[in-house]
């Protein structure tokens, strides 16, 4: 049987979402230790820095009773520096592990990995492309926090050009109904046309706004993101984009009392820690949900023992 890869948001449908979310719910009360994946090995191969994605995948596998092998900073410390291709690295690692999480600096790298891999590939972020497992945990968080995923107005804020989490969440919103997306970004970091075109085809309403203060009172979710310094072509463009949208106490005062603020993290200066204790700040709860969703995903692609 062909392995089940998790590479891009377009592969998901509503039925998959429903099953995954209820499986993630059930992971909360899983006995510890569990043996659902005992004897199985997950490899995490990361060519770009990561804290949450790698740690939460590893935590998820360990909580399921499986084991983990990993190479951090694979761009420098793996054979990539000797010129090994992603394809070769994956072919080799598939003999060492039952599933592989890959994060790579090139858009499309996870798809290339999946094309050759005999074991499931999970895309942990491919450059400025996609971050499908983050989008799943983001939508799961919205459902957990607000009790629904439909009929919501969601502001995506910050770097929508290079930010793969915002791109993937926008695409995933196609599986909800009655959503309206509001893109709030500096000029140099606007949502690209590939995503806009797919939203248009799916009939998803979206608009651009520049004034975050005006948007805050009217949205249910603010999805703040980091300006992706490492992906800007010039320092000048980065500096022009940086610091445009900062959520602080004064901005929170404008926010709808029932809204939530999310962020895939890490943050730099775009959310002031002075609002961390506000109940609407959902970003750390969001990060914790990553373990539940990734446990459910690993069970899904590996099958339960
Ligand atoms: C993000 C990423 O790597 O795309 N982090 C994450 O996975 N939670 C966001 C970022 O780096 O800004």
- Whole-number Å distance between alpha carbons of 132 and 155: 19
Q: What is the pLDDT of residues 98-125, one digit of tens each?
A: 999 999 999 999 999 999 999 999 999 9
Q: Can 131 be counted among the known catalytic residues?
A: yes
**CA–CA distance from 105 to each of 6, 48, 75 (Å)?**
17, 6, 9
What torsion, rounded to 10 degrees, do the Cα atoms 122, 127, 128, 134 define?
Answer: 30
Please report how many Cα atoms fall inside a 13 Å half-sphere around the Cα of residue 176, on the Cβ side: 23
CA of 91 relative to ligand 1 center, distance in Å: 26
Ligand 1 in contact with 131 (CB < 6 A)?
yes
Out of 5, 40, 103, 143, the active site residue is: 103
User: What is the pTM for the complete model shown?
Assistant: 0.96
Length of the chain measured in residues: 305
Element holding 298 (H helix, E strand):
helix 283-302
Q: What is the pLDDT of residues 77-101, one digit of tens each?
A: 777 777 889 999 999 999 999 999 9
Out of 5, 40, 131, 167, the active site residue is: 131
- Whole-number Å distance between alpha carbons of 9 and 21: 15
Determine the pLDDT at residue 32: 84
Across residues 54-66, what is the average pLDDT?
Answer: 97
Q: Which two tokens stand for residue 295?
A: 């446990």
**CA–CA distance from 57 to each of 78, 100, 293 (Å)?**
20, 10, 9
CB neighbour class for 2 (10 Å; exposed up to 12, middle 13-18, buried from 19): exposed
Determine the pLDDT at residue 305: 65
Cα 251 from chain centroid (whole Å): 25
């Amino acid at each position: 049987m062909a392995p089940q890869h998790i590479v891009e948001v377009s592969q998901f449908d509503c039925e998959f979402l429903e099953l995954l979310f209820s499986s993630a719910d059930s992971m909360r009360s899983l006995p510890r230790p569990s043996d659902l994946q005992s004897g199985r090995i997950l490899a995490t191969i990361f060519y770009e820095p990561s804290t949450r994605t790698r740690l939460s995948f590893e935590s998820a596998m360990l909580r399921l009773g499986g084991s983990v092998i990993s190479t951090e900073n694979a761009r420098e410390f793996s054979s990539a520096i000797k010129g090994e291709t992603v394809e070769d690295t994956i072919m080799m690692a598939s003999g060492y592990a039952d599933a592989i999480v890959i994060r790579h600096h090139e858009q499309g790298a996870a798809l290339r990995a999946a094309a050759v891999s005999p074991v499931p590939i999970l895309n942990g972020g491919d450059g400025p492309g996609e971050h499908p497992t983050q989008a799943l945990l983001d939508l799961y968080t919205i459902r957990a926090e607000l009790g629904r995923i439909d009929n919501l107005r969601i502001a995506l804020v910050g770097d929508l050009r290079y930010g793969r989490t915002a791109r993937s969440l926008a695409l995933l919103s196609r599986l909800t109904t009655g959503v309206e997306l509001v893109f709030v970004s500096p000029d140099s970091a606007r949502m690209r046309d590939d995503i806009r075109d797919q939203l248009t085809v799916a009939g998803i309403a979206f608009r651009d706004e520049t004034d975050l203060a005006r948007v805050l009172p009217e949205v249910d979710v603010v999805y703040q993101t980091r300006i992706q310094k490492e992906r800007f072509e010039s320092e000048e463009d980065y500096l022009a984009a940086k610091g445009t949208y900062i959520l602080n106490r004064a901005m929170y005062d404008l926010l709808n009392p029932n809204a939530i603020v999310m962020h895939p993290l890490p943050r730099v200066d775009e959310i002031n820690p002075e609002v961390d204790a506000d109940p609407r700040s959902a970003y750390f709860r969001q990060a914790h949900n990553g373990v539940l969703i990734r446990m459910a995903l690993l069970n899904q692609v590996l099958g339960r023992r």
